[in-house]
Structure 1
Amino acid sequence: MSDPINIRTLPPGTQVRLADGSVAEVVSNPADGAWLFARYITATDPALVGQEEMVFAQDVVAVR
C-alpha cells in the first residue's frame, strides 16, 4: 500500500494518475482536500482527453 497523497499541496501543472488508469493535469486546486480541477491527458474514455473535470481526492492514486 502506498502512502496517502495530500492533494492540498498539488500545484497547477502537476500530473496525477487516477484509479482508472487515466492521467490528468491539475488546472486548479481549491485546497479543500476533497477535489481538484484537472484536464485529462490520457483517459480510458477517449472523449475525455482534453476535457476539464472535477476529480475526487480518492481517485488520485499517484503523482507523476
Structure 2
Amino acid sequence: MIAILIKFLQRLAQALDKLAQREAAKAEEKLKQAADLVARANEHRKTFGHASRTASALKDLVS
C-alpha cells in the first residue's frame, strides 16, 4: 500500500516538474519578447507613434 502511494506521488511530482519547466520556458520567451520591445521603444523614443504602438504591444504581452 505504501509502495503504491510512493509510486503515485513520484509520478505526480514528475508531472508537476514537467509542467513547471514548460511554464518557465513560456515565461522566459515572454521576457525575451518584452526586452526586445523595450529596446525598440528606447531606440524610437523620439517617434511618439511608434513608441505608442510598441508600448501597447508590451502592455498586451504582459497582460
Q: Give the TM-score normalised by structure 2.
A: 0.22
- Which of structures 1 and 2 has the larger relative contact order (alpha carbons within 8 angstroms, sep 6+)? 1
User: TM-score w.r.t. structure 1 length?
Assistant: 0.21
* Structure whose residues are more often strand by fraction: 1
Higher helix content, 1 or 2: 2
**Larger radius of gyration between Structure 1 and Structure 2:** 2
